[in-house]
Structure 1
Amino acid sequence: MFRLYKTPQLLWKLMTGYTWLKEGPDKTLYLTFDDGPIPEVTPCVLEQLATYGAKATFFAVGENLVKHRDVAEQVLAQGHRLANHTQHHLRGWETSLPRYLSDVQLCQQELEKLDPSTAHHKLFRPPYGRITSRQATALRPDYELVMWDVLTNDYDNSLLPEKCLRESIRCTQSGSIIVFHDSLKAQRNMRYALPRFLEHFTAQGYTFQTL
Protein backbone atom coordinates (compact mmCIF):
# COMPACT_ATOMS: atom_id res chain seq x y z
CA MET A 1 0.00 0.00 0.00
CA PHE A 2 1.31 3.44 -0.93
CA ARG A 3 1.62 5.82 2.00
CA LEU A 4 2.78 9.41 1.90
CA TYR A 5 5.13 10.26 4.76
CA LYS A 6 6.82 13.37 3.37
CA THR A 7 4.63 16.19 2.08
CA PRO A 8 5.77 17.05 -1.47
CA GLN A 9 7.05 20.60 -1.91
CA LEU A 10 4.84 20.87 -5.00
CA LEU A 11 1.84 20.70 -2.68
CA TRP A 12 3.28 23.56 -0.61
CA LYS A 13 3.42 25.65 -3.76
CA LEU A 14 -0.10 24.73 -4.85
CA MET A 15 -1.57 25.29 -1.38
CA THR A 16 -0.14 28.61 -0.31
CA GLY A 17 -1.15 30.29 2.92
CA TYR A 18 -0.57 27.18 5.04
CA THR A 19 2.28 26.40 7.40
CA TRP A 20 4.01 23.21 6.23
CA LEU A 21 7.48 23.66 7.70
CA LYS A 22 8.66 25.98 10.45
CA GLU A 23 11.61 28.29 9.98
CA GLY A 24 13.56 28.62 13.19
CA PRO A 25 16.73 27.66 15.01
CA ASP A 26 18.78 24.86 13.48
CA LYS A 27 18.04 21.36 14.76
CA THR A 28 14.56 22.26 16.00
CA LEU A 29 11.58 19.96 15.42
CA TYR A 30 7.87 20.49 16.01
CA LEU A 31 5.94 17.46 17.24
CA THR A 32 2.17 17.67 16.94
CA PHE A 33 -0.52 15.31 18.20
CA ASP A 34 -4.00 15.23 16.69
CA ASP A 35 -7.42 14.07 17.91
CA GLY A 36 -6.99 14.02 21.71
CA PRO A 37 -6.81 14.61 24.52
CA ILE A 38 -8.02 11.29 25.93
CA PRO A 39 -7.10 9.60 29.23
CA GLU A 40 -6.21 6.28 27.59
CA VAL A 41 -3.39 7.70 25.45
CA THR A 42 -2.45 11.34 26.10
CA PRO A 43 -0.82 10.75 29.53
CA CYS A 44 1.52 8.21 27.89
CA VAL A 45 2.50 10.85 25.34
CA LEU A 46 3.15 13.36 28.11
CA GLU A 47 5.34 10.87 29.95
CA GLN A 48 7.49 10.27 26.89
CA LEU A 49 7.81 13.97 26.14
CA ALA A 50 8.86 14.66 29.72
CA THR A 51 11.52 11.95 29.57
CA TYR A 52 13.25 13.80 26.73
CA GLY A 53 12.45 17.36 27.80
CA ALA A 54 10.42 17.77 24.62
CA LYS A 55 7.58 20.22 24.04
CA ALA A 56 4.72 19.63 21.60
CA THR A 57 1.51 21.08 20.21
CA PHE A 58 -1.74 19.16 20.67
CA PHE A 59 -4.41 19.83 18.04
CA ALA A 60 -7.37 18.99 20.23
CA VAL A 61 -10.93 18.04 19.37
CA GLY A 62 -13.26 20.33 21.33
CA GLU A 63 -15.48 17.46 22.48
CA ASN A 64 -12.46 15.86 24.11
CA LEU A 65 -11.55 19.12 25.83
CA VAL A 66 -15.00 19.11 27.40
CA LYS A 67 -15.04 15.42 28.36
CA HIS A 68 -11.44 15.22 29.52
CA ARG A 69 -10.67 18.64 30.91
CA ASP A 70 -8.29 17.17 33.49
CA VAL A 71 -6.15 15.64 30.74
CA ALA A 72 -6.14 18.92 28.82
CA GLU A 73 -5.00 20.69 31.96
CA GLN A 74 -2.13 18.19 32.29
CA VAL A 75 -1.03 19.08 28.75
CA LEU A 76 -0.88 22.76 29.64
CA ALA A 77 0.69 22.19 33.07
CA GLN A 78 3.62 20.42 31.42
CA GLY A 79 4.36 23.35 29.13
CA HIS A 80 2.78 22.10 25.92
CA ARG A 81 0.34 23.93 23.69
CA LEU A 82 -3.28 23.20 22.86
CA ALA A 83 -4.64 24.18 19.44
CA ASN A 84 -7.82 23.90 17.38
CA HIS A 85 -8.89 20.74 15.50
CA THR A 86 -12.66 21.56 15.33
CA GLN A 87 -15.25 20.67 17.96
CA HIS A 88 -16.46 17.44 16.31
CA HIS A 89 -13.54 16.40 14.05
CA LEU A 90 -15.36 17.46 10.90
CA ARG A 91 -14.41 16.58 7.33
CA GLY A 92 -14.10 19.94 5.64
CA TRP A 93 -14.86 18.66 2.15
CA GLU A 94 -18.21 17.30 3.37
CA THR A 95 -19.26 20.20 5.60
CA SER A 96 -20.98 23.47 4.73
CA LEU A 97 -19.07 26.69 5.32
CA PRO A 98 -21.37 27.99 8.10
CA ARG A 99 -21.33 24.71 9.99
CA TYR A 100 -17.55 24.38 9.65
CA LEU A 101 -16.84 27.89 10.90
CA SER A 102 -19.25 27.42 13.79
CA ASP A 103 -17.56 24.18 14.79
CA VAL A 104 -14.12 25.79 14.73
CA GLN A 105 -15.43 28.61 16.92
CA LEU A 106 -16.90 26.16 19.43
CA CYS A 107 -13.53 24.48 19.79
CA GLN A 108 -11.79 27.84 20.13
CA GLN A 109 -14.13 28.79 22.96
CA GLU A 110 -13.18 25.62 24.84
CA LEU A 111 -9.49 26.31 24.26
CA GLU A 112 -9.76 29.82 25.61
CA LYS A 113 -11.56 28.61 28.73
CA LEU A 114 -8.54 26.43 29.44
CA ASP A 115 -5.86 28.85 28.26
CA PRO A 116 -6.85 32.45 27.47
CA SER A 117 -3.50 33.03 25.76
CA THR A 118 -4.65 30.88 22.82
CA ALA A 119 -6.75 33.87 21.72
CA HIS A 120 -3.60 35.81 20.82
CA HIS A 121 -2.17 33.35 18.29
CA LYS A 122 -4.80 30.95 17.04
CA LEU A 123 -3.58 27.73 15.45
CA PHE A 124 -5.89 25.51 13.41
CA ARG A 125 -5.37 22.18 11.70
CA PRO A 126 -8.18 20.74 9.57
CA PRO A 127 -9.06 17.14 10.44
CA TYR A 128 -7.76 14.72 7.79
CA GLY A 129 -5.98 17.73 6.24
CA ARG A 130 -9.17 18.34 4.27
CA ILE A 131 -10.41 21.88 3.98
CA THR A 132 -12.06 23.77 1.14
CA SER A 133 -10.63 26.99 -0.24
CA ARG A 134 -13.67 28.91 1.02
CA GLN A 135 -13.24 27.51 4.53
CA ALA A 136 -9.53 28.36 4.51
CA THR A 137 -10.14 31.87 3.21
CA ALA A 138 -12.70 32.50 5.95
CA LEU A 139 -10.43 31.23 8.72
CA ARG A 140 -7.11 32.67 7.59
CA PRO A 141 -7.56 36.23 8.93
CA ASP A 142 -7.83 34.85 12.47
CA TYR A 143 -5.93 31.56 12.39
CA GLU A 144 -2.58 30.21 11.31
CA LEU A 145 -3.49 27.13 9.28
CA VAL A 146 -0.97 24.46 10.23
CA MET A 147 -0.41 21.40 8.07
CA TRP A 148 2.70 19.21 8.23
CA ASP A 149 5.99 18.21 6.68
CA VAL A 150 5.98 14.62 8.02
CA LEU A 151 2.95 12.36 8.48
CA THR A 152 3.81 9.30 10.58
CA ASN A 153 0.74 7.32 9.44
CA ASP A 154 0.54 5.97 12.99
CA TYR A 155 -3.25 5.61 12.66
CA ASP A 156 -2.85 2.93 9.96
CA ASN A 157 -3.09 -0.41 11.75
CA SER A 158 -1.92 -2.29 8.67
CA LEU A 159 1.41 -0.49 9.05
CA LEU A 160 4.12 -2.22 11.06
CA PRO A 161 5.32 -0.08 13.97
CA GLU A 162 8.92 -0.50 12.86
CA LYS A 163 8.16 0.96 9.46
CA CYS A 164 6.18 3.81 11.01
CA LEU A 165 9.31 4.74 12.96
CA ARG A 166 11.81 4.16 10.15
CA GLU A 167 9.96 6.25 7.56
CA SER A 168 9.19 9.04 10.01
CA ILE A 169 12.87 9.35 10.91
CA ARG A 170 13.92 9.22 7.26
CA CYS A 171 11.60 12.06 6.26
CA THR A 172 12.32 14.42 9.16
CA GLN A 173 14.58 17.44 8.79
CA SER A 174 15.27 20.56 10.83
CA GLY A 175 12.07 22.60 11.01
CA SER A 176 9.79 19.63 10.30
CA ILE A 177 6.26 19.64 11.65
CA ILE A 178 5.55 16.00 12.49
CA VAL A 179 2.09 14.51 12.98
CA PHE A 180 1.40 11.81 15.53
CA HIS A 181 -2.02 11.07 17.04
CA ASP A 182 -2.99 10.68 20.70
CA SER A 183 -5.95 8.49 19.78
CA LEU A 184 -7.03 4.91 20.40
CA LYS A 185 -6.70 4.06 16.73
CA ALA A 186 -3.09 5.23 16.54
CA GLN A 187 -1.84 4.11 19.92
CA ARG A 188 -0.11 0.86 18.90
CA ASN A 189 2.16 2.50 16.36
CA MET A 190 2.52 5.75 18.30
CA ARG A 191 3.52 4.00 21.54
CA TYR A 192 6.26 2.16 19.65
CA ALA A 193 7.48 4.98 17.42
CA LEU A 194 7.32 8.06 19.65
CA PRO A 195 9.90 7.15 22.32
CA ARG A 196 12.32 5.86 19.71
CA PHE A 197 11.79 8.94 17.52
CA LEU A 198 12.50 11.17 20.52
CA GLU A 199 15.57 9.16 21.48
CA HIS A 200 16.96 9.22 17.94
CA PHE A 201 16.73 12.96 17.39
CA THR A 202 17.65 13.94 20.95
CA ALA A 203 20.86 11.95 20.57
CA GLN A 204 21.60 13.99 17.44
CA GLY A 205 21.24 17.26 19.33
CA TYR A 206 17.74 18.22 18.20
CA THR A 207 15.24 20.01 20.43
CA PHE A 208 11.45 19.80 20.28
CA GLN A 209 9.43 23.00 20.62
CA THR A 210 5.80 24.13 20.45
CA LEU A 211 4.52 25.93 17.38
Structure 2
Amino acid sequence: MKFYWIKTSALLKKMFSNYVWDIPNNENSVYLTFDDGPTPEITQWTLLQLKKYNAKATFFCIGNNVEKHPELFNTIIQEDHAIGNHTYNHLNGWKTETETYIKNAKQCEIRISNQQSEINNRKSKLFRPPYGKIKSKQAKKLMELGYKIIMWDVLSADFDSSITREKCLNNVISNVQSGSIIVFHDSVKGFKNLEYVLPKTLEFLKQNGYKCEAIL
Protein backbone atom coordinates (compact mmCIF):
# COMPACT_ATOMS: atom_id res chain seq x y z
CA MET A 1 0.00 0.00 0.00
CA LYS A 2 1.33 3.42 -0.92
CA PHE A 3 1.89 5.93 1.86
CA TYR A 4 -0.43 8.90 2.12
CA TRP A 5 -1.26 11.40 4.83
CA ILE A 6 -4.64 10.97 6.51
CA LYS A 7 -4.22 14.09 8.62
CA THR A 8 -2.08 16.58 6.75
CA SER A 9 0.96 17.54 8.80
CA ALA A 10 1.47 21.09 10.01
CA LEU A 11 4.93 21.03 8.41
CA LEU A 12 3.51 20.27 4.98
CA LYS A 13 0.94 23.04 5.34
CA LYS A 14 3.71 25.45 6.31
CA MET A 15 5.97 24.38 3.42
CA PHE A 16 3.17 24.94 0.91
CA SER A 17 1.35 27.79 2.60
CA ASN A 18 0.21 29.24 -0.75
CA TYR A 19 -2.21 26.32 -1.03
CA VAL A 20 -5.46 26.10 0.95
CA TRP A 21 -5.30 23.15 3.36
CA ASP A 22 -8.04 24.18 5.77
CA ILE A 23 -10.34 27.14 6.43
CA PRO A 24 -10.11 28.18 10.11
CA ASN A 25 -13.33 29.64 11.47
CA ASN A 26 -15.29 30.21 14.66
CA GLU A 27 -18.52 28.76 13.28
CA ASN A 28 -17.66 25.06 13.65
CA SER A 29 -17.83 24.77 9.86
CA VAL A 30 -16.19 21.95 7.93
CA TYR A 31 -15.83 21.48 4.19
CA LEU A 32 -16.74 18.20 2.54
CA THR A 33 -15.28 17.78 -0.93
CA PHE A 34 -15.88 15.15 -3.61
CA ASP A 35 -13.39 14.42 -6.39
CA ASP A 36 -13.58 12.75 -9.81
CA GLY A 37 -17.26 13.10 -10.71
CA PRO A 38 -19.84 13.62 -11.87
CA THR A 39 -20.52 9.88 -11.95
CA PRO A 40 -23.99 8.50 -12.82
CA GLU A 41 -25.88 7.04 -9.86
CA ILE A 42 -23.02 7.68 -7.42
CA THR A 43 -23.18 11.47 -7.63
CA GLN A 44 -26.99 11.37 -7.41
CA TRP A 45 -26.70 9.20 -4.31
CA THR A 46 -24.14 11.60 -2.82
CA LEU A 47 -26.40 14.59 -3.44
CA LEU A 48 -29.30 12.80 -1.75
CA GLN A 49 -27.23 12.14 1.38
CA LEU A 50 -26.14 15.77 1.53
CA LYS A 51 -29.72 16.98 1.11
CA LYS A 52 -30.90 14.84 4.02
CA TYR A 53 -28.57 16.77 6.31
CA ASN A 54 -28.90 20.16 4.63
CA ALA A 55 -25.17 19.93 3.97
CA LYS A 56 -23.34 21.86 1.28
CA ALA A 57 -20.17 20.56 -0.35
CA THR A 58 -17.64 21.24 -3.08
CA PHE A 59 -17.33 18.96 -6.10
CA PHE A 60 -13.99 18.90 -7.92
CA CYS A 61 -15.08 17.70 -11.32
CA ILE A 62 -13.20 16.09 -14.18
CA GLY A 63 -13.95 18.02 -17.36
CA ASN A 64 -14.48 14.91 -19.44
CA ASN A 65 -17.10 13.69 -16.96
CA VAL A 66 -18.84 17.07 -17.07
CA GLU A 67 -18.97 16.78 -20.85
CA LYS A 68 -20.38 13.25 -20.71
CA HIS A 69 -22.92 13.96 -17.95
CA PRO A 70 -24.03 17.62 -18.26
CA GLU A 71 -27.45 17.13 -16.66
CA LEU A 72 -25.89 15.54 -13.59
CA PHE A 73 -23.36 18.36 -13.37
CA ASN A 74 -26.21 20.86 -13.62
CA THR A 75 -27.95 19.16 -10.70
CA ILE A 76 -24.89 19.76 -8.50
CA ILE A 77 -25.07 23.46 -9.31
CA GLN A 78 -28.84 23.67 -8.92
CA GLU A 79 -28.57 22.21 -5.42
CA ASP A 80 -26.21 25.07 -4.55
CA HIS A 81 -22.98 23.16 -4.12
CA ALA A 82 -19.65 24.65 -5.18
CA ILE A 83 -17.69 23.46 -8.20
CA GLY A 84 -13.94 23.04 -8.63
CA ASN A 85 -11.63 22.18 -11.51
CA HIS A 86 -9.93 18.74 -11.35
CA THR A 87 -8.38 18.90 -14.86
CA TYR A 88 -10.06 17.55 -17.96
CA ASN A 89 -8.46 14.11 -17.88
CA HIS A 90 -7.40 13.61 -14.24
CA LEU A 91 -3.75 14.33 -14.94
CA ASN A 92 -0.89 13.63 -12.56
CA GLY A 93 0.98 16.93 -12.47
CA TRP A 94 4.27 15.33 -11.52
CA LYS A 95 4.20 13.27 -14.72
CA THR A 96 2.89 15.98 -17.04
CA GLU A 97 4.66 18.85 -18.76
CA THR A 98 3.50 22.19 -17.39
CA GLU A 99 2.20 23.51 -20.71
CA THR A 100 0.13 20.35 -21.24
CA TYR A 101 -1.16 20.46 -17.66
CA ILE A 102 -2.32 24.07 -17.89
CA LYS A 103 -3.94 23.48 -21.27
CA ASN A 104 -5.82 20.51 -19.81
CA ALA A 105 -6.98 22.54 -16.81
CA LYS A 106 -8.17 25.32 -19.14
CA GLN A 107 -10.09 22.73 -21.17
CA CYS A 108 -11.87 21.69 -17.97
CA GLU A 109 -12.53 25.34 -17.10
CA ILE A 110 -14.18 25.94 -20.47
CA ARG A 111 -16.43 22.90 -20.05
CA ILE A 112 -17.40 23.90 -16.49
CA SER A 113 -17.97 27.55 -17.42
CA ASN A 114 -20.13 26.68 -20.40
CA GLN A 115 -22.38 24.54 -18.25
CA GLN A 116 -22.52 27.01 -15.37
CA SER A 117 -23.46 29.90 -17.64
CA GLU A 118 -26.63 28.04 -18.57
CA ILE A 119 -27.72 28.13 -14.92
CA ASN A 120 -26.02 31.06 -13.17
CA ASN A 121 -23.14 33.47 -13.58
CA ARG A 122 -21.00 32.05 -10.78
CA LYS A 123 -17.62 31.08 -12.19
CA SER A 124 -15.48 28.42 -10.58
CA LYS A 125 -11.95 29.39 -9.59
CA LEU A 126 -11.14 26.49 -7.29
CA PHE A 127 -8.59 23.91 -8.39
CA ARG A 128 -7.58 20.60 -6.85
CA PRO A 129 -4.73 18.67 -8.47
CA PRO A 130 -5.54 15.00 -9.04
CA TYR A 131 -3.62 12.81 -6.58
CA GLY A 132 -2.58 16.04 -4.84
CA LYS A 133 0.40 16.09 -7.20
CA ILE A 134 1.29 19.38 -8.82
CA LYS A 135 4.55 21.08 -9.77
CA SER A 136 5.29 24.52 -8.37
CA LYS A 137 5.36 26.00 -11.89
CA GLN A 138 1.93 24.53 -12.61
CA ALA A 139 0.51 25.92 -9.37
CA LYS A 140 2.03 29.34 -10.03
CA LYS A 141 0.48 29.56 -13.49
CA LEU A 142 -2.92 28.46 -12.19
CA MET A 143 -2.81 31.04 -9.41
CA GLU A 144 -1.88 33.69 -12.00
CA LEU A 145 -5.11 32.67 -13.75
CA GLY A 146 -6.99 33.42 -10.54
CA TYR A 147 -7.31 29.93 -9.10
CA LYS A 148 -7.10 28.94 -5.46
CA ILE A 149 -5.27 25.62 -5.07
CA ILE A 150 -7.45 23.60 -2.69
CA MET A 151 -5.76 20.70 -0.92
CA TRP A 152 -7.05 19.07 2.28
CA ASP A 153 -6.74 18.62 6.02
CA VAL A 154 -8.32 15.14 6.22
CA LEU A 155 -8.18 12.36 3.63
CA SER A 156 -10.89 9.72 4.02
CA ALA A 157 -8.94 7.30 1.77
CA ASP A 158 -12.24 5.99 0.40
CA PHE A 159 -10.35 5.25 -2.84
CA ASP A 160 -8.23 2.61 -1.08
CA SER A 161 -9.87 -0.80 -1.55
CA SER A 162 -7.39 -2.39 0.85
CA ILE A 163 -8.81 -0.67 3.94
CA THR A 164 -12.03 -1.53 5.74
CA ARG A 165 -15.07 0.71 5.69
CA GLU A 166 -14.67 1.15 9.45
CA LYS A 167 -11.08 2.32 9.01
CA CYS A 168 -12.20 4.77 6.35
CA LEU A 169 -14.84 6.20 8.68
CA ASN A 170 -12.35 6.46 11.52
CA ASN A 171 -9.95 8.36 9.27
CA VAL A 172 -12.54 11.10 9.11
CA ILE A 173 -14.21 11.26 12.51
CA SER A 174 -10.99 10.93 14.52
CA ASN A 175 -9.29 13.78 12.63
CA VAL A 176 -11.98 16.29 11.76
CA GLN A 177 -12.03 19.67 13.48
CA SER A 178 -13.50 23.08 12.77
CA GLY A 179 -12.11 24.31 9.47
CA SER A 180 -11.19 20.88 8.10
CA ILE A 181 -11.34 20.28 4.37
CA ILE A 182 -12.22 16.60 3.95
CA VAL A 183 -11.72 14.53 0.79
CA PHE A 184 -14.17 11.95 -0.54
CA HIS A 185 -14.66 10.63 -4.08
CA ASP A 186 -17.97 10.34 -5.96
CA SER A 187 -16.42 7.70 -8.18
CA VAL A 188 -16.94 4.02 -8.92
CA LYS A 189 -13.63 3.18 -7.26
CA GLY A 190 -14.49 4.94 -4.01
CA PHE A 191 -18.15 4.01 -3.71
CA LYS A 192 -17.72 0.81 -1.70
CA ASN A 193 -16.33 2.87 1.15
CA LEU A 194 -18.26 6.07 0.48
CA GLU A 195 -21.62 4.30 0.67
CA TYR A 196 -20.85 3.29 4.24
CA VAL A 197 -18.83 6.29 5.39
CA LEU A 198 -20.71 9.34 4.11
CA PRO A 199 -24.05 8.84 5.93
CA LYS A 200 -22.22 8.04 9.17
CA THR A 201 -19.93 11.04 8.75
CA LEU A 202 -22.88 13.35 8.18
CA GLU A 203 -24.63 12.00 11.27
CA PHE A 204 -21.45 12.36 13.34
CA LEU A 205 -20.98 15.96 12.20
CA LYS A 206 -24.60 16.79 13.00
CA GLN A 207 -24.44 15.22 16.46
CA ASN A 208 -21.23 17.12 17.23
CA GLY A 209 -22.48 20.52 16.13
CA TYR A 210 -20.59 20.89 12.86
CA LYS A 211 -21.94 22.69 9.81
CA CYS A 212 -21.06 21.52 6.31
CA GLU A 213 -20.31 24.45 4.03
CA ALA A 214 -19.20 24.87 0.43
CA ILE A 215 -15.80 26.41 -0.33
CA LEU A 216 -16.22 29.84 -1.91
TM-score band w.r.t. shorter chain: over 0.9
**Superimposed CA distance per residue, residues 25-59 of structure 1 (whole angstroms, 9 cap, x where no aligned partner):** 42101000000001131011001000000000000
Alignment of 1:180-191 (within 5 A): 180-191=184-195
Matched, 1:194 2:198: yes
CA contact (8 A) 2:154 2:175 kept: yes
| Contact preservation (8 Å) 1:5, 1:150 | yes
The CA distance in 1 between the partners of 2:81 and 2:96, in whole Å, is 30
Structure 2 residues not aligned, in runs of 5+: none
What amino acid sits opposite 1:115 in the alignment?
A: Q
Corresponding position of 1:172: 176
Inter-partner Cα distance in structure 2 for 1:10 and 1:200: 28
Contact in 2 for aligned 1:40/1:184 (Cα 8 Å)? no
Partner-residue secondary structure (3-state), 2:174: helix
1:62 is matched with 63
Paired with 2:143 and 2:58, the residues of 1 have a C-alpha distance of 19
Q: Residues 28 and 174 of structure 1 are in contact (CA less than 8 Å); yes or no, is this contact kept in structure 2?
A: yes
Matches of residues 23-102 of structure 1 in structure 2 within 5 Å?
23-102=24-103
| Corresponding pairs, count | 210
Q: What's 2:158 paired with?
A: 154
1:137 aligns with 2:143: no
Task: Say whether the 8 Å CA contact 1:41–1:184 is kept in structure 2.
Answer: yes
User: Is residue 111–residue 118 contact of structure 1 (8 Å, CA) maintained in 2?
Assistant: no
Q: Are 2:160 and 2:190, in contact at CA under 8 Å, matched by a contact in 1?
A: yes
In the alignment, the residues of structure 2 paired with residue 64 and residue 9 of structure 1 have an alpha-carbon distance, to the nearest angstrom, of: 34
Q: Distance in 1 between matches of 2:53 and 2:106?
A: 34
- 8 Å contact 2:57–2:81 — kept in the other structure? yes
Give the partner amino acid of 1:129.
Answer: G
Instruction: Give the letter for the 2:185 counterpart.
Output: H
C-alpha distance in structure 1 between counterparts of 2:38 and 2:12, whole Å = 29
- C-alpha separation in 2, matches of 1:28 and 1:114: 28
* Residue of structure 2 in register with 1:112 after alignment: 113
Q: Equivalents in 2 of 1:61, 1:167: separation in Å? A: 25
| Secondary structure class of the residue paired with 1:50 | helix
AA partner of residue 63 (structure 2): G
Q: How far 1:67 sits from its partner (Å)? A: 0.2
The alignment partner of 1:32 has SS state of: strand
Amino acid at match of 1:100: Y
Per-residue CA deviations over 1:136-173 (Å, capped at 9, x if unaligned) read: 11111210000000000000001100110012100100
Residue 148 of structure 1 aligns to a residue whose secondary structure is coil
Indicate the larger mover: 57-66 or 108-117: 108-117
Structure 1: 5+ residue runs without aligned partners?
none
- Preserved contact between residue 155 and residue 171 of structure 2 (Cα < 8 Å): no
CA drift of 1:184 comes to: 0.3
TM-score (norm 1): 0.96
**Root mean square deviation of aligned Cα:** 1.2
